[in-house]
Structure 1
């Protein structure tokens, strides 16, 4: 797996597969060219060798027809050796040396040492009475005539496989004419002789035939491989860049203010993952933009109400319609406190969003902390006729910032008292649950509809949109509770039933865990 992409769909896998395919085609094409060129070169060398063998055989056959013995054949062997690069020897049928192209004494004759010549290496028997037609027909200019039925042959008539070493082509100059009738009259001739030919020394050559046709084949094959590689690269490149271009176009549309711009997901590889991530980001951005606009409207609404009230009271006092007594001062003080609370909540959320809301966690005994919150909200609960109690298991310690812990629990308790009618009750409990500490705030209030539970921690959200700030609060308290819980590494949840009450659960790490 590459990220979330299966290996067989991975872009890296496809690029590697394309490279291997191009390499395979290149290797196969090169191997084919080498084999073809090598075969052609071998065929050419074999053909030249057969022609050279036939020239030597035909020249010696002519000598045997025109002479009664082999005396004086040494110069012919030398000329043939010069033109073919062969080492040529003639012996009689018993192995006695008659002539040697490398010898210096044409008249010399000696028995060939057994180590020098092996009778099994005889290339052919030179005898006008038993012509080797398989060799003779390779002579330059020889007519291709049907091979006559051979006379009874001896074991020496077999023609070994010709040598494959390259040699210069032997022309007809200075050699006996080979373009002559193949029928001979009965006359005296030289006795049969064994012909020994030793291959020419190896000549350094290129591995591949670099003749003009071979060079043309190499150029054509290289062009074909290049075209295939270029075509594959273009196809893969277009396939890769097309979704990237679409992704860039969607990003530009979003920059220009089109919040509905989305990328088309065409593949399930890394590029497809990028498109999916971009669409998720666009969705999130659109949601954040919607929330931002709603928050600006809500903040303006929340600030407008107390400011309008303060302005109204002050203008009434200026006009003499309202006396500047303690009642007016109390009313203005109430509005100022609400504004200060709202601004403080907004500042806390802004700091949390920016990651700058600093915590100073320490072990905090839970019982006294909850009792302090209950005492602080007791007056508001008594004014509404709501019973407010706290109950904590002994010895429960939570690791938290004391100030932020009281702020979170206070927001939960204030919210419960606000939504619980007179005669109802609010209970705050604390207990250890494994490695966590759980603080629960239960009320017997109006409850929250199941469809609204997912929105209770959103900023400025109210189940009843018509609720005023006097009965519904600022709409920021529960959002702050969620931020505090998250910063502590904990969580907050809610359960509710309409008409029967609501329970908020704050879960934080234990202080002794």
Structure 2
């Protein structure tokens, strides 16, 4: 009997070891396979979208109209398996690879294809000006000029090789051939080096080369008649812009410039150069078009790879076989939760991201079920975030853009005077746009507590006045009173741009949900060692059940605070991060039908005079 008990103990111990190891392997395979499939799917999607965007951008940069783009859209659709649709900004169709069986287009486009305003997210190598380098317009050389440029480049390359340097001939988008110096690359691989569109690097004539040959090596690029004419026209536009801003004209000789990138300009003048370049190219490129990239037949999520699921099923089957061989009791306890995990995994592989494991098992299997449920919830959340990313970004950028547009339209209509304070306010809104983009890119750092801020002593009243000025136009248009109350103008230490962004999000939400005749109030005061800033409205209010979730990323309340009202659920989450990174705290009070009050608590500046 003792021997039987001893054998049973050893078998049970072996069963526990095998089951534990198998369950651990199952959990690891499930996590690795599923996360790997998600990573590959997201990577392939981003790469495909970037390829489609770049191809269409190239067409727009080299064609003055979209009329011949249908062939390109059809080819790209066949290559990528996506439905590709181009429309005007008024949603009038330009080209569509889909058919009548496809559902209507989504409300928000995937991107805007504009060669004069390149999306740096989809095309990271875009020029700082935002103009696609393939858009050359009047700088396009004639065939004779191309041949002359190519012949000169060959002479320079031969001279360089005679002096021991290595190089290659590359052709710019406008047809000009230039010599590029290749450093530290074996001569056999020179032809494989990617060609960058840049002017040849000046070379010093070596002592071993004859004087006339050295002159060929150092011979500067001489603009063609086409380039001189285009540069002259461009300089006229640039000088007109500089004159409007009270700046002097560029002292540039068109006979020394071969491309707009060579114009010497400081930060102020560069804006005029970019603006003039866009104006010059406008008639040579296609107009902006909205791009929609969807799946043929609908926007159903693609099923994940079944390779990981197959491994999970085989591992789970091995656990069952080994456990049944050891004891029926252990098998009965292991089979049920393993079947639950397997069933949920199969559902998830079939596209059901809401699949969850319902089991009361403890130990390793319980941990596996918990890990699977957590992973499944994360996958579902990731899918939802990916689909709404474009609209979320648009929400955050919309507010400052509307403010800038509103003031500019008011100035154009003569309602407002385009004086220096207004220009300064518009410039601040433009800078806020850049901060918004940086915030969206750094949200992951914010979650880790690494979001960077640059604090400085501030007057709270000045900050509130700036925020109110930026939103006053919208408030007046909506018939809402926007008031600022400052008790004693307390001082605090904070990042002015990020604080304006946080308050701007709150004011924007308050205006959005306040009816005509309502009131939005910004109230600042000091209580002890803290500065309190309230943003209150007399709007629709938030129900008590929704209050705990309003700062969740991508969360939106129901009808009254849904997407139809303009919110995407990202603004309050960013505001919460911005307050946290300042070491402060934000809280909210609301009553349905009466209004909502957000209170930001920040540390007061202990040395306001320093």
Same fold (TM over 0.5): no
Structure with bigger gyration radius: 1
TM-score, structure 1 normalization = 0.42
